[in-house]
Structure 1
Amino acid sequence: MADWLAALHRRAELRAKAGLTRRLRPRAAGDAVIDLAGNDYLGLATHPEVTAAAGRALAAYGLGATGSRLVRGSTDVHYGLEAALADWLGTDGSLVFSSGYLANLGAVRALTQPRTLLVSDAHNHASLIDGCRISGAETVVTPHADPAAVAAALSAAPGRPAVVVTESVFSVDGDLAPLAELHAVARRHGALLLVDDAHALGVTGPAGAGGVAAAGLAGEPDVVVTATLSKALGGAGGVVAGPAEFVRHLVETGRTFIFDTALPPAVAAGVRAALDLARAGDHLRAELAERATETVRRLRAAGLTVSAPDAAVVSVTAPGPEAATAWAAGCADRGVAVGCFRPPSTPDSRSRLRLTISAGVPRADFERALDVIVECAP
């Protein structure tokens, strides 16, 4: 074996000993697994109106966009989706990317000027962390959800352009950031606020408009919102929304937008249909909230350590990475899919199961899944 492959093999052995092996697990269409691991919060990925809209666009445009947005990849479907997203989020404009990851990389980079200070929450998603790294800007990582620490970091760099970077609903534990307080701190210091609303869009806020809208910050000129279109909207892609001048700046300078093939029109059309359903889906959000509360109640009654249900993500602490892996595997053997998060994917080096509640799972299956999780607990 070549030296470099041998080195990779040795690293894989070390990960296996630490309980950190990761495997791809293909699933068949229409499998019978109860899904508490995916992010289809509102059950829209297979909604007939969504798949029909995607099918019509597939027949009209073909499989892919055939080019980047600035070449041949922009269609009327993309423009319609961007207008609808801006209206929903209460912003001047929005721009659709091919993934939420690229949207975050592009947004952070576009907000960075010479001497910019980035103030990033310790629990931020990898895409935000990578955006900070790629930007080349000085980054201060502050304790989780701590406006006072953010204020201290900004006070230590007077006169410098700065951006406070946070999620709204954090992807690992599902807790809600203190967005109103963070915005007040940022504005007091002349800083911008960048919020990744991925796990809140469709789930919280008026008409499901997300955590930024719920905090009363929609349309503020010093707030930029990002989100993925692959969670509550059941599709793929990402969006950056904010002032029209910033959207223009992204179109003209954003490398992850300019040099990437556009989101397929069929996906954009399906997401557009899902958006309409999500805006009118207060009954689905009520069901999500009820299920999240029930999940916490049931698991805590069984003696498990569980996060508070601020949205539809529930985190359950495991004794360690190997125990978390075995717990998730035991659930899978009994037909229940759960997320398994272990270091280095966790910001606090704590292993856990992550349950993503979905209104699309039949109620009886949801109840059974909770039983299985308790029965398989280490």
Structure 2
Amino acid sequence: MITIDEFPGRAITKDGKDFLYFGGTSYLGLQTDHEFQELFIKNIKKYGTSYSASRKSNIRISIFDKAESYLSNMVGSESCITMSSGYLAGQLVCDYFNNEDYKLYYAPNTHSALFRGQQEVYQSWQQLETDILNNLKEKQVLFLDSIDFNGNNYPDYIPLQKLPLENIILVIDDSHGIGITGKDGGGSFSHLQSLKPKELLVTCSLGKGFGIQAGAIFGNHQRIENLKDTQFYGGSSPATPAALATLVDAQPTFSFKRDLLHRNTALFLKNLANPLFFSTSKGHPTFSFKNEQIAKILAENGILVTNFRYPTEDDDLMSRIVLSSSHQKADILKLCKILNKASNFNNQ
């Protein structure tokens, strides 16, 4: 573990030693982008640093409605609500469906934002499909992540296409997709809607693709209104207005940064000798691996990657290379050179 005193950008300095950093989830590199920071500061001066009140308050700030309308138009949903985090957004939907009226299923690798500790996460899609088909008379809700870091879901969602989706309410966590995948960063909502599920809700963090501390839920108008009418929603402090205002104002920056990210990803794949060594989703800038020696070799050569147990110390080691818009061409070529030399290692 390395402790630092500022947000990690493309590079980290620790004890006088410089490292390139290919980890985290700041895909567009916004948190350290000067233009983005200036815009955020401008909005803080207008809206304040936080908004510690309920969205049900008799005094309301218009930026919430403006941002939610913008987001729903971007992803292609009827409606949207924002929360203070993506985790809280997922927990609101989980709490809403967690009652005797619904039968809940959790696909392999589903993030803990979508469930409480008592729910079972399936280890195989085959067993999940069997159980769903055996309980078609139930009101079924299926939870899963769009990006599972194994390439099983996004972009084609092949496992979903084997299910009777007309009978299933889908709840998708698109935290690692929204902002960087889909048309204009709209993520997977439109594609998932084309699969014609009984109903679709998408939850997400806005911190990974958009660089702000907030979360969102997308769905049809009636379901979103039902979620707004819960104690969970009414009792929660909302996202900060300054963050949501920056989300609306920074669209040209998001577009420019997405283009840089896609180019960096293409450069990495072009110069990587063995892309099949990694688990990845097509078009996504994350590359997972199992061989712990790779992280060690990279660190010895001045490169740090995501490499820790998540979400608890009892879980499997999470090892992945993460590209961002802030990386320079020389950074990526150095990474590829080291990886190509280490290609004799098996991904085990």
Kindly indicate whether the alpha-carbon contact (under 8 Å) linking 1:120 and 1:166 is maintained by their aligned counterparts in 2. yes
The number of residues matched between the two structures is 334
Secondary structure of 2:287's partner? strand
Could you tell me which residue of structure 2 aligns to residue 363 of structure 1? Answer: 329
Kindly indicate whether the alpha-carbon contact (under 8 Å) linking 1:174 and 1:314 is maintained by their aligned counterparts in 2. no
Could you tell me which residue of structure 1 aligns to residue 278 of structure 2? Answer: 306
Kindly indicate whether the alpha-carbon contact (under 8 Å) linking 2:165 and 2:197 is maintained by their aligned counterparts in 1. no
Using the TM superposition, give the Cα deviation of residue 77 of structure 1 relative to its aligned residue in structure 2, in angstroms: 2.1
Secondary structure of 1:202's partner? coil
Aligned pair in 2 of structure 1 residues 317, 180: CA closer, same or farther (>3 Å)? closer
| Structure 2 letter corresponding to 1:258 | G
Kindly indicate whether the alpha-carbon contact (under 8 Å) linking 2:39 and 2:250 is maintained by their aligned counterparts in 1. no
Could you tell me which residue of structure 1 aligns to residue 121 of structure 2? Answer: 141
Using the TM superposition, give the Cα deviation of residue 192 of structure 1 relative to its aligned residue in structure 2, in angstroms: 0.2
Q: Which TM-score applies when normalising by structure 1?
A: 0.76
Kindly indicate whether the alpha-carbon contact (under 8 Å) linking 1:196 and 1:226 is maintained by their aligned counterparts in 2. yes
State yes or no: 1:27 paired with 2:13.
no
Q: Which TM-score applies when normalising by structure 2?
A: 0.81
State yes or no: 1:238 paired with 2:215.
yes
| Structure 1 letter corresponding to 2:243 | V
After TM superposition, the structure 1 = structure 2 runs for residues 43-82 of structure 1, keeping only pairs within 5 Å, are 43-71=29-57, 74-82=60-68
Could you tell me which residue of structure 2 aligns to residue 199 of structure 1? Answer: 176
Using the TM superposition, give the Cα deviation of residue 110 of structure 1 relative to its aligned residue in structure 2, in angstroms: 1.6
Aligned pair in 2 of structure 1 residues 110, 216: CA closer, same or farther (>3 Å)? closer
Using the TM superposition, give the Cα deviation of residue 156 of structure 1 relative to its aligned residue in structure 2, in angstroms: 2.3
Kindly indicate whether the alpha-carbon contact (under 8 Å) linking 2:22 and 2:321 is maintained by their aligned counterparts in 1. yes
Kindly indicate whether the alpha-carbon contact (under 8 Å) linking 1:49 and 1:273 is maintained by their aligned counterparts in 2. no
Could you tell me which residue of structure 2 aligns to residue 84 of structure 1? Answer: 70
Q: How far does the alpha carbon of each residue in 1:161-182 deviate from its partner, in whole angstroms, 9 at most, with x for none?
A: 1101111111x44653453652
Using the TM superposition, give the Cα deviation of residue 288 of structure 1 relative to its aligned residue in structure 2, in angstroms: 4.5
Using the TM superposition, give the Cα deviation of residue 208 of structure 1 relative to its aligned residue in structure 2, in angstroms: 2.3
Secondary structure of 2:70's partner? helix
Alpha-carbon separation, structure 2, partners of 1:174 and 1:180: 10
| Structure 2 letter corresponding to 1:269 | A
Aligned pair in 2 of structure 1 residues 262, 376: CA closer, same or farther (>3 Å)? farther
State yes or no: 1:351 paired with 2:317.
yes
List alignment gaps of at least 5 residues for structure 1: 1-22
Kindly indicate whether the alpha-carbon contact (under 8 Å) linking 1:41 and 1:358 is maintained by their aligned counterparts in 2. yes
Q: How far does the alpha carbon of each residue in 1:173-204 deviate from its partner, in whole angstroms, 9 at most, with x for none?
A: 4653453652662424x220111111111222
Kindly indicate whether the alpha-carbon contact (under 8 Å) linking 1:68 and 1:262 is maintained by their aligned counterparts in 2. yes
Could you tell me which residue of structure 1 aligns to residue 17 of structure 2? Answer: none
Alpha-carbon separation, structure 2, partners of 1:219 and 1:48: 42
Alpha-carbon separation, structure 2, partners of 1:29 and 1:181: 37
Could you tell me which residue of structure 2 aligns to residue 129 of structure 1? Answer: 115
Aligned pair in 2 of structure 1 residues 196, 254: CA closer, same or farther (>3 Å)? farther
State yes or no: 1:270 paired with 2:246.
yes
Alpha-carbon separation, structure 2, partners of 1:372 and 1:73: 57
Kindly indicate whether the alpha-carbon contact (under 8 Å) linking 1:343 and 1:350 is maintained by their aligned counterparts in 2. yes
Alpha-carbon separation, structure 2, partners of 1:227 and 1:157: 28
List alignment gaps of at least 5 residues for structure 2: 13-19
After TM superposition, the structure 1 = structure 2 runs for residues 169-184 of structure 1, keeping only pairs within 5 Å, are 169-170=147-148, 172-173=149-150, 175-177=152-154, 178-179=156-157, 182=160
Aligned alpha-carbon RMSD (Å) = 3.4
Q: 1:258 aligns with which of 226, 234, 246?
A: 234
Alpha-carbon separation, structure 1, partners of 2:63 and 2:190: 25
Q: Percent same amino acid at aligned positions?
A: 19
Q: 2:266 aligns with which of 283, 286, 290?
A: 290
Using the TM superposition, give the Cα deviation of residue 368 of structure 1 relative to its aligned residue in structure 2, in angstroms: 2.4
After TM superposition, the structure 1 = structure 2 runs for residues 330-341 of structure 1, keeping only pairs within 5 Å, are 330=300, 334=302, 336-341=303-308
| Structure 2 letter corresponding to 1:197 | D
Quick check: 80-89 or 280-289, which moved more? 280-289
| Structure 2 letter corresponding to 1:236 | Q
Q: How far does the alpha carbon of each residue in 1:98-148 deviate from its partner, in whole angstroms, 9 at most, with x for none?
A: 111111111122233424211111211121233xx4xx7xx553334x3x5
Aligned pair in 2 of structure 1 residues 206, 224: CA closer, same or farther (>3 Å)? same
Alpha-carbon separation, structure 1, partners of 2:162 and 2:313: 28
Secondary structure of 2:56's partner? helix
Alpha-carbon separation, structure 1, partners of 2:176 and 2:268: 14
Alpha-carbon separation, structure 2, partners of 1:274 and 1:346: 37
Could you tell me which residue of structure 2 aligns to residue 212 of structure 1? Answer: 189
Q: How far does the alpha carbon of each residue in 1:213-254 deviate from its partner, in whole angstroms, 9 at most, with x for none?
A: 345539976110111101121222110000111111111115
Kindly indicate whether the alpha-carbon contact (under 8 Å) linking 1:174 and 1:313 is maintained by their aligned counterparts in 2. no
